[in-house]
Amino acid sequence: MANVIEIKASARTRSGKGAARTARREGKVPAVIYGAKMEPVGIVCDFTEMSKIITRGRFLATIFDIDIDGKKTRVIPREFQLDPVKDTPLHVDFLRVTPESRIRVRVPARFINDAASPGLKRGGVLNIVRREIEVYCPPDTIPEFFDFDLTGLEIGRSIHISAIELPPGVRPTIGDRDFTVATVAGALTKDEEAAAPGAGDGAAAGGDAKAAAAKAAPAAGAKGAPAAGGKAPAAGGKK
């Protein structure tokens, strides 16, 4: 069962940018509730309370019961706007949910038992491909996180979404393949680092400089420079 947080709110009698600015001046955050084939409802929430909830993290993956003047509506946030300078909430969009709903959320991935991975013990590096797994799930069973066990993972091996057992009713949004979540890559040896692209650039630069200098110098016997041992023009002779 997902942890449900209750928020106190009041209905908005007016809509539009002017009404939203007025609500903010009064220490409120304007918001809207939509979905479930019902008309959208404009509300205002307490600014301090909403700021704390958003700052706490996982806001878009948390179920809320919004108490609107004594009537509760179960929702999940779908989008929120922050002030670009103050980083404070300006507006929130809430989606109504029911027990039959299937919502799309991102669940953090955690990697455990790294000390039991032979590849990591030998100096390998865990390359995390996906730090979050996007899934469809019922609103009351949103997983808090997914644990991926690294026990026995060697260098060059990968761990896929099939490595964990998903809770009932939870499925990845990517359903056409067993996608990679993380891999164990080997660290570069000194010989590999020396052979990496960019090695020897100094020598190449020196060669390029010499070639440029040679190109800039006039070739021997070229017009504009007297040939070695050539006679100077006779006095009074035609130029």
Task: Give residue-wise pLDDT tens across range 153-185.
Answer: 999 999 999 999 999 999 999 999 999 999 999
- The Cα–Cα gap between 191 and 181 comes to 30
**% residues pLDDT > 70 (the chain):** 77
Please tell me which of 4-18, 190-204, 208-222 the model is most confident about, judged by mean pLDDT. Answer: 4-18
DSSP state, residue 186? P
DSSP state, residue 225? S
- Mean pLDDT on 98-127: 94
198 pLDDT band, cuts 50/70/90, is low
Residues 6+ apart with CB under 8 A from 69: 10, 11
Q: According to the model, what pLDDT value does residue 234 have?
A: 47
- The Cα–Cα gap between 117 and 157 comes to 11
17 pLDDT band, cuts 50/70/90, is confident
For residue 3, how far is the Cα from the chain centroid? 25
41-62, pLDDT tens digit by residue?
A: 999 999 999 999 999 989 999 9
* Domain regions of the chain by residue span: 4-96, 103-191
* pTM across the whole model: 0.69
DSSP string for residues in 106-150: EEEEEEE-GGG-HHHHTT-EEEES-SEEEEEE-GGG--S-EEEE-
**Distance set, CA 174 to CA 14, 44, 78, 130 (Å):** 41, 36, 20, 12
Q: Report the CATH fold assignment for 103-191.
A: RNA Polymerase Alpha Subunit; Chain A, domain 2 (2.170.120)
User: ∠ at Cα 78 (74, 80), nearest 5°?
Assistant: 115
Q: Name the strand (E) or helix (H) holding 68.
A: strand 63-68
Check whether 224 has a pLDDT greater than 60: no
DSSP state, residue 61? G
* Average pLDDT of the chain to the nearest whole number: 83
- The Cα–Cα gap between 91 and 32 comes to 8
Query: Are 4-96 and 103-191 in the same CATH fold?
Result: no
- Mean pLDDT on 82-111: 93
Check whether 195 has a pLDDT greater than 80: no
Check whether 208 has a pLDDT greater than 80: no
Q: Report the CATH fold assignment for 4-96.
A: Ribosomal Protein L25; Chain P (2.40.240)
Check whether 9 has a pLDDT greater than 50: yes
**Of 53, 67, 64, which Cα lies nearest the Cα of 139?**
64
